[in-house]
Amino acid sequence: MTNFRSSFRSSLKLDFTTPSLRNRLRQNLCICTLICTTTLSISNALAHVTSPHAEVFPSEAHWVLVDSQLLQQLKLEVVAIEPQSRVALAKLKGADRVRVAEAAHDRGACGGHEQIQDLSPQATSREAVKWAKEIAFPQLVAGHRRSLETSARTSAGQASPDEAKNVGLPRTPLAVDPRIESLTRQVSEQNIEEQIRFLSGFSNRQHKNTATEQVVIQFRDRLIAQLKALSSGVNPWSFDLIRHQSTPMPSLRLKFEGQTTGQDVVILGGHFDSINQSWMGGQKAPGADDNASGSANLAEIARLIAQAPRLQRDVEIYWYAGEEGGLLGSAEIAKAAQSAKKSVRGVLQLDMSLHPGSGRFKIGSMTDFTDATLRDDLKRINTLYIGAEIIDDQCGYGCSDHASWHRHGFPAVMPTEAKKRDMNKNIHTERDVLSASSDLSHSAMFAKLGLAFALDLSGLERP
Ligand code: BES
Ligand code: ZN
């Protein structure tokens, strides 16, 4: 895919290579600004001319992927449409992006669109449609197609290449493993609350803020101390800071070595950075829900994997940098994994777990930019160990780091706190704090689900 993309770029002679242009696109990417935060109804023209977020909505028209219903509602031109997902390709000026964002917000959704980083504003409609048909639209339906291919092969009595590669390792346990059940019962709401308090106590964790690196380092050192304090542990672990080209903020990785180390890996992750995009918003971005909650869930999962029986596959846990700037850290990590031909059993993204917007013990599961077979695995694991209601939903664009993995050909899932329309409306503002409406038992459910996912897919040594 990387090769295809670079040849695609050169054949179209588009200017993707200018770092300043690339960076500007990345910086301008996040589109949830007015949408999720403004309580005033601002006229589009005023918002466009005077918004301190003109940087986020540049006046120049950009190519975007967007919910086609929003385009129809606003009578904006659809250039191409993917029929299954109803995701459309369009070229929108800044003022129209504000209108799309506001309309999405009225429907209880976030930004409703995603700026396409691979197309310059100068790309023609023909070039854009070619890109959408060859790259973006196939990705949108890839999960669905992969699931059909797997079941077709299975019914013909043949193992899929993935299954063949995993011979000897457990694939789909259909019965409860009491060791996994016992570990999920040890998930502590109090630990999760303490981690969220620690992270949301910093003024912000913005990826462009040079002070954020120190927050990542403090968090790493805190986790090291917590893991070292555990009395026993049979799974060797190590931390790495991962530096990036696209952001000064590093990502953090914790690796647990399994018995088959280096062969096949299970990946869990969530973004560590926060952002304030509110109208006239300042620097305060506590990001308790988005995404101290997912980060805290991962810390609690790490504490329990450190006490688990011997893993078979490696388990890697990532706290990504720069998600709010356009999936920056995870894009680099997934690209490197693809170049290294890394074999990945599954990727689970934890982004927002604190606000039970669709009801307690109801989980939204994004069906776009994810893998249908892995979503079935997630449902099986939920049935065995959690018993929550999983509601299929769509972001409509690559709304979190799972999309980076999906785009690089790895199977990913993204369970989140609620259906998108019911998500926490205070994210990206200084009001995203632990509050009376935060539900730690809801959040703990995601730590249990992520833990069971990691242990089930890694496989535990036979007792
Ligand atoms: N936490 C959100 C994504 C999200 C949205 C999760 C809805 C669950 C439900 C994430 O941090 C975010 O803000 N994403 C951006 C897009 C990203 C590419 C910058 C968004 O949704 O606008
Ligand atoms: Zn966010």
Domain assignment present for 463? no
- Exposed, middle or buried, 83 (CB in 10 Å: 0-12/13-18/19+)? exposed
CA distance 116 to 23: 13
Q: Mean pLDDT, to the nearest integer, of 383-391?
A: 97
**What pLDDT, on a 0 to 100 scale, did the predictor assign at position 152?**
28
Q: Probe ligand 1: pick from 32, 55, 330, 413, max atoms within 8 Å of CB?
A: 32
Task: Please give the distance, rounded to the nearest whole angstrom, from the Cα atom of residue 296 to the centre of ligand 1.
Answer: 18
Residue 197 predicted with pLDDT over 80: yes
Task: Please give the distance, rounded to the nearest whole angstrom, from the Cα atom of residue 351 to the centre of ligand 1.
Answer: 8
Domain assignment present for 202? yes
DSSP 363-375: EEEE-SSS-HHHH
Q: Probe ligand 1: pick from 115, 204, 349, 351, max atoms within 8 Å of CB?
A: 351
Q: 28 and 109 in one domain? A: yes
Q: 299 and 389 in one domain? A: yes
Amino acid at 450: G
Which among 252, 302, 231, 235 is positioned nearest to 459, based on CA atoms? 235
Q: 375 and 229 in one domain? A: yes
Residue 170: Cβ within 10 Å count:
15
Structure tokens at 364: 């939204």
The rounded Cα 93 to chain-centroid distance in angstroms is: 27
Domain assignment present for 214? yes
The DSSP output letter for 420 is: G
User: Half-sphere exposure (CA, 13 Å, Cβ side) for 252?
Assistant: 26
**Helix (H) or strand (E) segment spanning residue 446:** helix 440-458
Domain assignment present for 261? yes
Q: Where residue 200 sits, what CATH number does that domain have?
A: 3.40.630.10
Confidence of residue 147 (pLDDT cuts 50, 70, 90): very low
**What pLDDT, on a 0 to 100 scale, did the predictor assign at position 57?**
66
Helix (H, G, I), strand (E, B) or coil at 52: coil
Domain assignment present for 152? no
**What pLDDT, on a 0 to 100 scale, did the predictor assign at position 77?**
83
Q: Mean pLDDT, to the nearest integer, of 374-378?
A: 97
Residue 50 predicted with pLDDT over 80: no
Task: Please give the distance, rounded to the nearest whole angstrom, from the Cα atom of residue 448 to the centre of ligand 2.
Answer: 23
**What pLDDT, on a 0 to 100 scale, did the predictor assign at position 412?**
98
**What pLDDT, on a 0 to 100 scale, did the predictor assign at position 112?**
72
Rounded to a whole number of angstroms, the CA Rg of the chain reads 21
Smallest-distance ligand from the CA of 416: 1
**What pLDDT, on a 0 to 100 scale, did the predictor assign at position 228?**
97
Between 114 and 345, residue with greater pLDDT? 345
* Tens digits of residue pLDDT in 263-305: 999 999 999 999 999 877 788 999 999 999 999 999 999 999 9
Structure tokens at 346: 């599954």
Average pLDDT, rounded, for the chain: 82
Q: 447 and 360 in one domain? A: yes
Least reliable range by pLDDT among 277-286, 408-417, 451-460: 277-286
Residue 227 predicted with pLDDT over 50: yes
DSSP 317-381: EEEES-GGGTSHHHHHHHHHHHHTT--EEEEEE----S--TT-TTEEEEE-SSS-HHHHHHHHHH
Domain assignment present for 143? no
Q: 181 and 83 in one domain? A: no
Q: 410 and 264 in one domain? A: yes
**What pLDDT, on a 0 to 100 scale, did the predictor assign at position 337?**
98
Residue nearest ligand 1's atom 13 by CA? 324
* Tens digits of residue pLDDT in 94-129: 888 988 887 876 665 566 777 787 888 888 888 888
Angle between helices 440-458 and 178-185 (to 10 degrees): 150
Q: 288 and 180 in one domain? A: yes
User: In the chain, what percentage of residues exceed pLDDT 90?
Assistant: 61
Smallest-distance ligand from the CA of 33: 1
- Exposed, middle or buried, 423 (CB in 10 Å: 0-12/13-18/19+)? buried
Domain assignment present for 93? yes
The answer to whether 369 and 407 are in contact (CB under 8 A) is: yes
Q: Mean pLDDT, to the nearest integer, of 347-369?
A: 97
Least reliable range by pLDDT among 50-59, 189-198, 209-218, 330-339: 50-59
Task: Please give the distance, rounded to the nearest whole angstrom, from the Cα atom of residue 355 to the centre of ligand 1.
Answer: 14
Which atom belonging to ligand 1 lies closest to the Cα atom of 398?
18
Q: Probe ligand 1: pick from 105, 290, 319, 400, max atoms within 8 Å of CB?
A: 400
Task: Please give the distance, rounded to the nearest whole angstrom, from the Cα atom of residue 175 to the centre of ligand 1.
Answer: 35
| pTM passes above 0.75 | no
The DSSP output letter for 255 is: E
Count of domains forming the chain? 2
Go through the chain and tell me how many residues it has: 463
**What pLDDT, on a 0 to 100 scale, did the predictor assign at position 293?**
99
Residue 398 predicted with pLDDT over 80: yes
Least reliable range by pLDDT among 68-77, 221-230, 372-381, 390-399: 68-77
Q: 212 and 99 in one domain? A: no
At CA 28, angle to CA 335 and CA 423, rounded to 5? 85
Residues with CB under 6 A from ligand 1: 29-32, 110-111, 114, 290-291, 323-324, 326-327, 351-352, 395, 398-400, 416, 420, 423
Domain assignment present for 58? yes
Q: 249 and 308 in one domain? A: yes
Q: Mean pLDDT, to the nearest integer, of 332-349?
A: 98
Helix (H, G, I), strand (E, B) or coil at 71: helix
CA distance 405 to 265: 13
Q: 190 and 59 in one domain? A: no
The answer to whether 427 and 36 are in contact (CB under 8 A) is: yes
The answer to whether 37 and 105 are in contact (CB under 8 A) is: no
Q: 110 and 175 in one domain? A: no
Task: Please give the distance, rounded to the nearest whole angstrom, from the Cα atom of residue 350 to the centre of ligand 2.
Answer: 12
Q: 307 and 234 in one domain? A: yes
Task: Please give the distance, rounded to the nearest whole angstrom, from the Cα atom of residue 195 to the centre of ligand 2.
Answer: 18
Domain residues for the domain of 102 are 2-136
Residue 201: Cβ within 10 Å count:
13
Which among 4, 80, 63, 1 is positioned nearest to 28, based on CA atoms? 63
* Tens digits of residue pLDDT in 8-31: 332 222 222 223 323 332 333 333
Which among 273, 276, 261, 243 is positioned nearest to 430, based on CA atoms? 276
Q: Mean pLDDT, to the nearest integer, of 345-372?
A: 98
